[in-house]
Structure 1
């Protein structure tokens, strides 16, 4: 298999080497790191059970990857159990505790999901496989940190690898309606200053610059997190989210981002009556051509074939320095059950899910790839091509930041509520940040108690 280096990617820290210190009670680090591992998965017939949440078009992508893997390994059969995202996340702990449960499961990032599973020994420490397959050198550190935990579950973003990324990415950035920009003689923005100049011109023309609704707390934060990345270095945001305690929230760009968002609201750049507008309605407003821009998660907008010709996506560079930093992660992470009777075969499948084949299948099914740059990009889908260009700009700068709400189990709710209050004039950008710091400090105190 060809190396999966991202351009300019930094190798994982030496903390991914084999042989971590003994794990905490209930953990599995010592046993996992010491057991023999092998790439030789030929010979006996094996059935691997996988729990995933990929359905519809995503399910077709997964089926294509499974088919390619089974062709390469005819003695291994993949048996998928597919449920929606909520069902998988709500039941994965119990399923992995079952000796007859899945060999592989999609596991959500963060303290309450992957951290809990790592601490309880439900999922394998993958350090031995990381060294065997070269994941420790091929997966960039800004992606690998998202699936690292210490064996006691107390620290995220350091320690051992407990899951591997699929070769599909999910980002937060800026979507645009090129038809509206062309109609007004405006260029696709390349910087924040360009974006604000375009937005002002769009407002002056009597149109809506930004499709936005703040009624749903969680989804309303995408605009804030996307803008935050334009101000703070990736490592500052990462170190805050991974809770090393050394970086205050005011060093993560959130005050500057909140100031911008409030300025845009006061300028009348948002959809009228945005405070009462639901997430789906704001999306539909953008897709219907009623606004020029929308800050959104990739994969969340259902573009028609016609819209794929006229909409696009851009990852704006930072205000100072021009580095491209953006919230981005794998579309899902795959972990191996500690009870799997065939961990070597399961690791082979994890490696294949991160392969160039899986990434190309992602593009062929209309999804954004990860971990590879030498892929065939379709000429008939300009919208997807613009997303891939943006994603590759993050590759080049190794500029991926984790989702900011991973910093605590309650941060999304806290920041979403504060954002609503800020837009209503009830709190300032600094007070929004102070509330986030208070949430963070409270969580740090709980973690310190063990």
Structure 2
């Protein structure tokens, strides 16, 4: 499940390129790889209309609109007709939409078992391995590509074939800080876990809330524990657990240490008082009004305005041991419907969505680019720190997927356990056991 992250590469050979070949048409499509053929000049492919069904809204809708216009300018013979619907609605109806008489050529899909995994197994979206090789999509971090890979039988996530492509935009979980508050309490911007905790102690001593938090909503209450898990868990083991290899246990992925740390923060009074009764929007508003020194949050959800750009910053803390940058992050996944009459053109547009020109549109609209060096706004220093955090993950290939992808019910399970942990109704060991039980139940059902 994606919560608030949707708020959340060079373009190879877009001119002369053929990536013809698609899954057989009909009620039962194939999930065998689409096979690129000899070159086709997209500009000479004749009049082509692509339909795209997506959930992009707000700032994201604008960069997508810019990308569509730019692609159509480059190829006046191609028209892209967008239809935008609510994220939840599209996620729940994607399989039906792709079975319609006139299904979309291009569709945004949710990562994980319930959405992309189901669509891939049913042959409703194209196997993109051929396009990946043709367009050079191995330029993406392997930890990003893995997020949209499934075996054609649908039994394994995070390996096998590529069934959706990332775009030149991403969303992360990291640590936001208020520089004005840190200056007031005599603390420096943290560089690691120890200096972060030292700053929290100074904030508490000065009568300032160290970590802005609202845990009333199960989904958003997990941001802290997931960010902390990234500091303690082995990257490969977190990946293998989420991708359900079955070889890794919940006790081996940094979850215990993260739960212990979060409980210790609660015991020290580092969270916003009465946070169990604080809604997500109110917690965000309080942080933006300078009520706390720090906040763990998804990128793209805090609307900094005016002077706030100078007062706030963002960082990806390095792991507690070894110093590697590991963080939760993903890009929106975009797939090609298996009944598309123009899969080659659709694939070239997916490549454009992943390219440097689109990355600049992403940045121009205040969202994080994926992979490309872009021209960052000089009047938005906070945003520059988010881009720096993004690049640190790119450099270390340090992405791990959103933990709730591990099972269809994991977000609810983990969120509920965090709430009980902070209410002293469960222990870190109980958190780990509940996560393992959820995981085992899902594995047994597969």
TM-score by length of 1: 0.91
**5 Å matches for 1:88-237?**
88-135=90-137, 137-237=138-238
Cα 1:395–1:94 change in 2 (3 A) is same
**5 Å matches for 1:283-362?**
283-330=284-331, 332-362=332-362
Cα 1:38–1:232 change in 2 (3 A) is farther
Q: Secondary structure at the match of 1:229?
A: helix
Q: 1:178-237: CA deviations, max 9, x gaps?
A: 111112221111101111100010000011011101111111001000010001121110
Is this contact kept in 2: 1:27–1:119, CA < 8 A?
A: no
Is this contact kept in 1: 2:213–2:295, CA < 8 A?
A: yes
Residue 380 of structure 1 corresponds to which residue in structure 2? 379
Is this contact kept in 2: 1:405–1:412, CA < 8 A?
A: yes
Residue 270 of structure 1 corresponds to which residue in structure 2? 271
Cα 1:120–1:2 change in 2 (3 A) is closer
User: Could you tell me how far apart the structure 2 residues matched to 1:37 and 1:186 are?
Assistant: 61
Is this contact kept in 2: 1:254–1:433, CA < 8 A?
A: yes
User: Could you tell me how far apart the structure 2 residues matched to 1:442 and 1:157 are?
Assistant: 20
User: Could you tell me how far apart the structure 2 residues matched to 1:130 and 1:156 are?
Assistant: 18
Deviation at 1:29, TM superposition (A): 2.4
Cα 1:27–1:435 change in 2 (3 A) is farther
Residue 432 of structure 1 corresponds to which residue in structure 2? 431
Deviation at 1:92, TM superposition (A): 1.6
Deviation at 1:39, TM superposition (A): 5.3
Q: How many residues align?
A: 423
Q: Secondary structure at the match of 1:358?
A: helix
Q: Secondary structure at the match of 1:435?
A: helix
Is this contact kept in 2: 1:363–1:369, CA < 8 A?
A: yes
Deviation at 1:66, TM superposition (A): 0.9
Is this contact kept in 2: 1:308–1:381, CA < 8 A?
A: yes
Residue 58 of structure 2 corresponds to which residue in structure 1? 56
Deviation at 1:277, TM superposition (A): 1.0
User: Could you tell me how far apart the structure 1 residues matched to 2:30 and 2:402 are?
Assistant: 27
Is this contact kept in 1: 2:11–2:356, CA < 8 A?
A: no
User: Could you tell me how far apart the structure 2 residues matched to 1:99 and 1:371 are?
Assistant: 37
Deviation at 1:311, TM superposition (A): 0.9
Residue 12 of structure 1 corresponds to which residue in structure 2? none
Q: 1:263-308: CA deviations, max 9, x gaps?
A: 0011011111011111111111111111111000001112223212
Is this contact kept in 1: 2:309–2:380, CA < 8 A?
A: yes
Q: 1:235-274: CA deviations, max 9, x gaps?
A: 1100000000011111110100010000001101111101
Is this contact kept in 2: 1:27–1:151, CA < 8 A?
A: no
Is this contact kept in 1: 2:241–2:406, CA < 8 A?
A: yes
Deviation at 1:99, TM superposition (A): 3.1
Is this contact kept in 1: 2:186–2:202, CA < 8 A?
A: no
Residue 15 of structure 1 corresponds to which residue in structure 2? none
User: Could you tell me how far apart the structure 1 residues matched to 2:40 and 2:420 are?
Assistant: 54
User: Could you tell me how far apart the structure 2 residues matched to 1:324 and 1:200 are?
Assistant: 24
When the two chains are superposed, the root-mean-square deviation of aligned CA atoms in Å is 1.5
Residue 22 of structure 1 corresponds to which residue in structure 2? none
Is this contact kept in 2: 1:309–1:382, CA < 8 A?
A: yes
Is this contact kept in 2: 1:39–1:348, CA < 8 A?
A: no
Which runs of no fewer than 5 residues in structure 1 stay unpaired?
5-24
Q: 1:317-356: CA deviations, max 9, x gaps?
A: 00000000000111x1110000111101100000000001
Is this contact kept in 1: 2:36–2:131, CA < 8 A?
A: no
Q: Secondary structure at the match of 1:117?
A: helix
Deviation at 1:2, TM superposition (A): 4.0
Deviation at 1:33, TM superposition (A): 3.4
User: Could you tell me how far apart the structure 1 residues matched to 2:393 and 2:28 are?
Assistant: 38
User: Could you tell me how far apart the structure 1 residues matched to 2:38 and 2:87 are?
Assistant: 31
Q: Secondary structure at the match of 2:232?
A: coil
Q: Secondary structure at the match of 1:216?
A: coil
Which runs of no fewer than 5 residues in structure 2 stay unpaired?
1-8, 13-26
Q: Secondary structure at the match of 2:334?
A: strand
Deviation at 1:34, TM superposition (A): 4.7
Is this contact kept in 1: 2:68–2:80, CA < 8 A?
A: yes
Q: 1:400-433: CA deviations, max 9, x gaps?
A: 0000110000011111111111111111101100
Cα 1:3–1:233 change in 2 (3 A) is farther
Is this contact kept in 2: 1:99–1:339, CA < 8 A?
A: no
Cα 1:151–1:290 change in 2 (3 A) is same
Is this contact kept in 1: 2:10–2:354, CA < 8 A?
A: no
Moved more, 183-192 or 34-43: 34-43
- Does residue 365 (structure 1) correspond to residue 359 (structure 2)? The answer is no
